[in-house]
């Protein structure tokens, strides 16, 4: 049956059967669309697959897996696109999934940090128009999903499902999703041992590209340099991290992460000076200092230093607390909890008595990061703080440290807060002697 026959059959001989024929026609149209999906999706057809950039890589060299989509139909279609750089929210539509395995089919360690409270993050998408017969390729860096620690043979299970549109997404009158294309592939490749000179030669094209002037696209080189940092291009990482605010071709925080991944004494010294707002020689950066534009980057440097938790970084963090703008001071204060030293704990306990409520809030959060049994009595006292936010944060922190839950409503008045405080104190009196705090998850809450 075709559409013409349906229309002819639908012409009503009388209006008595009109409603019944509407229902019957609707049923037949639905059946026809199920039988012929090409009609429903306006002849949009595509194939997609993953393939390895090459079959053999050097240890320390970027391992790329290409996503290729081809328009095999007769109509133009569109799909959403973003720079192929991993984000931690794998549940977002359009995101590829890679499972890399090595010897005995065991998954390789994932180098991405685990976010507290589950995956977070979002991506900004553009759109790609793909005419009939043409292909579109994206290069995804597998080193962002797997850490290759030794030579050997590896496999990757790659899959991705993306929606296709009949007109550009986000435009006025844009069509709804016209169909989907799925790529599902199991690929094999080898990682071979390499000398330093061989690795330098393999990475040289990416490092050189970092010197390209605008409007050159350096996104892939930035991704490689910050994901696979090497001591011989630490100067490039520092330049990427210290880029002026006018440079929008990369995110300077990626360079900070690259320095932390490199992890050499020189890399950590660079992070300390960035956190201080100074250049690599320890001098103040030119221009007005500090500037609001510098603060987020300095704060991220502080938190990366805290995540490392090396006690030698603590004097710099305390120095930043004394001289930093208010927001940066609070980040530094909170980070003290990652330094498990008496000096860091003392600074946190002192700030519980600060006249500034933000200091007290972040001191409590620092004690949460510090963990341990000895912090709990001091946090219990903060349940009686005159500031609402301090009481809420203290309650939240106690829940995280103990696993016990007493609900303090967001709009709790002093009477409710005092009632919750009594419940916490009674619980602690009953459990203090036997309580053993659970290890805190190794995750980032920023």
pLDDT exceeds 80 at position 1 = no
Structure tokens at 428: 């602690």
Instruction: Give the pLDDT score at 289.
Output: 52
Distances (CA, A) of 72 to 39, 47, 49, 77, 131: 16, 7, 13, 11, 9
Instruction: Give the pLDDT score at 267.
Output: 97
Highest mean pLDDT among 28-42, 247-261, 283-297, 432-446: 247-261
How far is Cα 256 from Cα 300, in angstroms, rounded to an integer?
8
H-helix or E-strand spanning residue 164: strand 152-165
**pLDDT, tens digit, 9 for 90 and up, residues 353-378:** 999 999 999 999 999 989 889 999 99
How far is Cα 57 from Cα 82, in angstroms, rounded to an integer?
26
How far is Cα 128 from Cα 162, in angstroms, rounded to an integer?
12
Is the bond preceding 290 in cis, omega lying within 30 degrees of 0? yes
How far is Cα 188 from Cα 294, in angstroms, rounded to an integer?
44
pLDDT exceeds 60 at position 391 = yes
**pLDDT, tens digit, 9 for 90 and up, residues 133-144:** 999 999 999 999
**pLDDT, tens digit, 9 for 90 and up, residues 161-216:** 999 998 887 665 556 889 999 999 999 999 999 999 999 999 999 999 999 999 99
Residue 74's pLDDT band (boundaries 50, 70, 90)? very high
Pick 82 or 343 by higher pLDDT.
343
Pick 20 or 406 by higher pLDDT.
406
Average pLDDT over residues 299-308: 94
Instruction: Give the pLDDT score at 204.
Output: 96
**pLDDT, tens digit, 9 for 90 and up, residues 314-332:** 999 999 999 999 999 999 9
Instruction: Give the pLDDT score at 125.
Output: 84
pLDDT exceeds 60 at position 37 = no
Structure tokens at 263: 């992890």
Pick 21 or 93 by higher pLDDT.
93
Q: Is 407 helix (H, G, I), strand (E, B) or coil?
A: coil
Average pLDDT over residues 67-71: 97
Say what percent of the chain tops pLDDT 70.
Answer: 82
Radius of gyration of the chain (CA): 29
Say what percent of the chain tops pLDDT 90.
Answer: 67
How far is Cα 429 from Cα 418, in angstroms, rounded to an integer?
16
Burial class (CB in 10 A: 0-12, 13-18, 19+), 111: middle
Average pLDDT over residues 14-35: 48
Choose among 338, 340, 316, 313: nearest CA to 328. Answer: 316
**pLDDT, tens digit, 9 for 90 and up, residues 244-253:** 878 889 999 9
User: Average per-residue pLDDT in the chain?
Assistant: 86
The torsion defined by the Cα of 71, 74, 80 and 84, in degrees rounded to 10, comes to 20
Choose among 274, 287, 283, 280: nearest CA to 328. Answer: 274
Instruction: Give the pLDDT score at 38.
Output: 39
Residue 89's pLDDT band (boundaries 50, 70, 90)? confident
Structure tokens at 45: 């057809």
């Amino acid at each position: 049956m075709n559409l013409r026959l349906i229309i002819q059959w639908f012409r009503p001989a009388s209006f008595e059967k009109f409603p019944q024929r509407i229902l019957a026609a609707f049923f037949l149209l639905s059946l026809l669309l199920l039988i012929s999906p090409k009609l429903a999706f306006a002849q949009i057809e595509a194939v997609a697959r993953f393939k390895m950039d090459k079959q053999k890589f050097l240890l320390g060299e970027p391992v790329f897996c290409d996503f290729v989509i081809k328009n095999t139909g007769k109509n133009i279609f569109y799909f959403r696109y973003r720079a192929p750089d991993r984000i931690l929210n794998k549940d977002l539509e359009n995101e590829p999934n890679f499972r890399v395995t090595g010897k005995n089919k065991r998954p390789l360690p994932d180098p991405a940090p685990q976010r507290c409270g589950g995956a977070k993050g979002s991506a900004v998408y553009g759109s790609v128009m793909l005419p009939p017969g043409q292909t579109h390729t994206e290069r995804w860096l597998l080193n962002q999903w797997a850490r290759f620690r030794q030579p050997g043979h590896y496999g990757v299970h790659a899959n991705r499902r993306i929606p296709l549109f009949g007109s550009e997404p986000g435009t006025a009158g844009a069509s709804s999703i016209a169909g989907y294309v799925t790529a599902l592939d199991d690929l094999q490749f080898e990682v071979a041992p390499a000398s330093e000179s061989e690795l330098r030669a393999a990475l040289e094209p990416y490092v050189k590209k970092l010197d390209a002037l605008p409007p050159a696209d350096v996104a892939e080189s930035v991704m490689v340099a910050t994901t696979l940092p090497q001591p011989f291009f630490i100067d490039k990482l520092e330049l990427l991290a210290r880029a002026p605010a006018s440079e929008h071709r990369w995110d300077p925080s990626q360079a900070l992460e690259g320095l932390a991944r490199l992890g050499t004494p020189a890399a950590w010294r660079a992070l300390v000076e960035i956190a201080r707002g100074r250049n690599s020689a320890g001098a103040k950066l030119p221009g007005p200092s500090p500037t609001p534009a510098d603060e987020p980057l300095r704060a991220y440097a502080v938190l990366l230093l805290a995540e490392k938790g090396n006690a030698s970084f603590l004097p710099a963090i305390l120095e930043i607390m004394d001289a930093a703008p208010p927001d940066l001071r609070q980040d530094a204060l909170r980070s003290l909890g990652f330094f498990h030293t008496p000096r860091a704990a003392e600074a946190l306990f002192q700030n519980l008595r600060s006249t500034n409520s933000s200091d007290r809030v972040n001191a409590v959060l620092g004690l949460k990061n510090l963990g341990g049994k000895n912090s709990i009595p001091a946090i219990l006292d903060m349940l009686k703080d005159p500031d609402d936010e301090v009481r809420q944060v203290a309650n939240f922190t106690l829940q995280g440290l103990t696993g016990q839950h007493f609900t303090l409503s967001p709009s709790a008045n002093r009477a409710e807060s005092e009632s919750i405080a009594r419940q916490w104190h009674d619980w602690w009196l009953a459990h203090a002697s036997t309580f053993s705090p659970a290890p805190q998850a190794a995750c980032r809450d920023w």
